[in-house]
């Protein structure tokens, strides 16, 4: 009888250790931050050869400036803070520049295409979090003109501030974002990260007990554009 009791005690202790210690071990020693969201790179950049004015369209681009968009959040796993980055190359958009001024711009992201290193996380994101069946896209649309006339044309990066409307899960909110812009050859490359509080868009960050997601993060984009 005493042996049976001790066996039960051992089983309970092992189970408790597995429940409380395993997540801590994973979060402290195994889990790693994802690479940061892509941003404009000057690697291989050259002086601008095309005109700035005109109609521009988002294209696939090429490394290290391949078009992509997604999100950055922090997961808290038993006290361990892990950065998670999701992204997709399913991005489209356009821009209009007249007399050196960006007059219109829109970026459209197919949310269902956003992935991370975890299929389970991605399934939660597509269904319960973002409901992509009902809200398949996220968009940023410019609402105020932006002066681009001071952007360098020597293959270096300039920064402008863009004001627009961000739409997530069907909810629209005004946002302002600093955008890094590179004129290289006949292309434009732009990137930025929009600080985002998820509940502002009706998005409830998952809380699975030993894993919680911060209520704020960012919506990230890197787009390469070519003139029509």
What CATH number has the domain bearing residue 92?
A: 2.40.128.110
- The residue range of the domain holding 166 is 33-227
- Residues 50 and 13 both lie in one domain: no
Predicted TM-score of the model (pTM) = 0.83
Statement to judge: residues 20 and 46 lie in one domain: no
Query: In terms of domains, do 75 and 181 share one?
Result: yes
**Based on the domain organization, do 23 and 107 belong to the same domain?**
no
Evaluate the omega torsion of the peptide bond into residue 64 and state whether it is cis, within 30 degrees of 0: yes
- pLDDT band of residue 130 (cuts 50, 70, 90) is very high
More confident residue, 77 or 140: 140
Average pLDDT, the chain: 87
For tokens 């997601």, name the residue. Answer: 213
Q: Which two tokens stand for residue 119?
A: 């299929």
């Amino acid at each position: 009888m005493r042996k049976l009791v001790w066996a039960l005690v051992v089983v309970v202790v092992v189970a408790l250790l597995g429940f409380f210690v395993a997540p801590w071990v994973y979060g402290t020693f195994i889990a790693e931050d994802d690479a940061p969201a892509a941003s404009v790179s000057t690697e291989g950049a050259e002086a601008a050869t095309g005109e700035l004015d005109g109609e521009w369209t988002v294209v696939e681009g090429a490394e290290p400036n391949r078009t992509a968009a997604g999100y950055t959040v922090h997961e808290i796993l038993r006290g361990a803070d892990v950065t998670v980055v999701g992204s997709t190359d399913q991005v489209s958009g356009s821009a209009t520049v007249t007399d050196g001024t960006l007059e219109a711009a829109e970026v459209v992201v197919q949310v269902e295409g956003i992935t991370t290193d975890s299929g389970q996380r991605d399934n939660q994101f597509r269904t319960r979090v973002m409901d992509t069946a009902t809200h398949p896209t996220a968009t940023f649309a410019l609402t105020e003109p932006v002066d681009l006339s001071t952007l360098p044309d020597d293959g270096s990066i300039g920064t402008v501030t863009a004001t627009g409307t961000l739409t997530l899960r069907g909810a629209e909110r005004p946002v302002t974002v600093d955008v890094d812009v590179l004129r290289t050859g006949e292309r434009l490359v732009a990137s930025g990260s929009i600080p985002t509080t998820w509940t502002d868009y009706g998005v409830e960050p998952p809380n699975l007990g030993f894993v919680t997601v911060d209520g704020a993060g960012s919506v990230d984009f890197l787009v390469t554009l070519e003139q029509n």
